[in-house]
């Protein structure tokens, strides 16, 4: 992938937005390599994503932000400019199950997922040797005695390692509301059901008892309402009456891995814009 900037915009819908933004880029010789647009009709809000070749512009990302700011103010934009030369820093949180962690580390090690992983945090020690084999610091945070203090430590570690996004890769703990608010839009969870069905613990057992014919997984942003944050990506697999709970868990692991990796890729590539409790995903 060539060096590029990704400009993402959300603003009240009105005429002239596309012309103003693309005109600004053209005025400075910018070369747009990918463009996406969407209007959310009920909210009357406009969403835009532009990828611009960095070498086509006469200034760097910092100067781009400065020069673009007056136009953003004119249209009351919520916006950001990401530089592909600066990899996102992902802090992974895990418990004992390793399938999502294993998948993400494989994609990172192979260069498929272009991110930095400065550390892995866990409330158990079982995965220490596996993580350290990858050359990544592993930090154990005891959650048994004082959970509030434990989450304060997790937040401090996230800041210390300069994390951009916190990934709950089957981290089997409920995040406290204050932490969810502090890092709004920066915590991603993989939930092992097709939300909004079967929130909370043991969703595969809930699905089995309900006799559903489809089970799934959901990648979503974490909010202070349990398993109810904006959904980034989902998928399902068909099951039948002959499948046991163990079968559902086994099928589910495969879906969880792929859904988390896809949703995370969309987030890392700045393809996800939040609109209330929904997301606009420019695939």
Profile the chain (283 residues) by mean pLDDT over runs of 10 residues.
Answer: 94 97 98 97 96 97 98 98 97 97 97 96 97 98 93 98 98 94 97 89 91 95 94 96 94 96 98 96 96
Q: State residue 3's pLDDT score.
A: 96
3-state SS class at 283: coil
What is this structure's pTM? 0.95
Selecting among 103, 164, 227, 270, the annotated active-site residue is: 227
DSSP state of 230: P
Please say whether the beta carbons of 5 and 61 come within 8 A.
Answer: yes
User: What is residue 1's predicted lDDT score, i.e. its pLDDT?
Assistant: 65
Distance in angstroms (rounded) separating the CA atoms of residues 223 and 175: 9
Q: What is the pLDDT of residue 59?
A: 96
Per-domain residue ranges for the chain?
4-83, 88-281
Alpha-carbon dihedral sign for residues 242, 247, 249, 250? negative
For residue 201, the model assigns a pLDDT of 86
Q: Which top CATH class is 4-83?
A: alpha beta
**E-only strand ranges, 42-129:** 45-53, 78-83, 88-94, 115-122
Q: Does domain 88-281 bear CATH number 3.40.50.300?
A: no
Active site residue 227: yes
- Cα separation, 190 vs 218, whole angstroms: 6
């Amino acid at each position: 992938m060539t060096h590029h900037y990704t400009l993402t915009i959300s603003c009240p819908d009105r005429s002239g937005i596309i012309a103003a933004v693309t005109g600004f880029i053209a005025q400075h010789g910018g070369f747009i390599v990918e463009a996406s647009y969407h209007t959310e009709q009920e909210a009357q809000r406009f969403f835009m994503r532009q990828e611009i070749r960095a070498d086509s512009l006469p200034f760097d990302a910092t100067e781009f932000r400065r020069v673009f700011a007056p136009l953003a103010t004119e249209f009351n934009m919520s916006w950001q400019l990401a530089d592909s030369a600066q990899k996102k820093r992902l802090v992974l949180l895990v418990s004992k199950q390793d399938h999502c962690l294993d998948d993400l580390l494989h994609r990172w090690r192979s260069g498929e997922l272009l991110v930095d992983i400065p550390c892995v945090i866990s409330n158990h020690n079982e995965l220490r040797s596996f993580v350290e084999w990858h050359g990544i610091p592993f930090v154990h945070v005891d959650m048994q005695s004082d959970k509030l203090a434990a989450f304060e430590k997790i937040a401090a570690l996230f800041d210390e390692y300069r994390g951009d996004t916190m990934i709950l890769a089957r981290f089997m703990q409920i995040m406290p509301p204050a932490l969810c608010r502090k890092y709004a839009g920066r915590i991603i969870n993989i939930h092992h059901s097709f939300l909004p069905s079967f929130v909370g613990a043991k969703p595969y057992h809930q699905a089995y008892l309900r006799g559903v014919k489809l089970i799934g997984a959901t990648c979503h942003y974490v909010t202070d309402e349990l398993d109810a944050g904006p959904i980034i990506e989902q998928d399902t697999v068909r099951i039948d009456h002959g499948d046991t709970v163990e079968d559902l868990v086994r099928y589910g692991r495969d879906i969880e891995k792929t859904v988390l990796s896809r949703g995370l890729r969309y987030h890392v590539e700045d393809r996800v814009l939040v609109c209330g409790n929904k997301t606009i995903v420019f695939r």
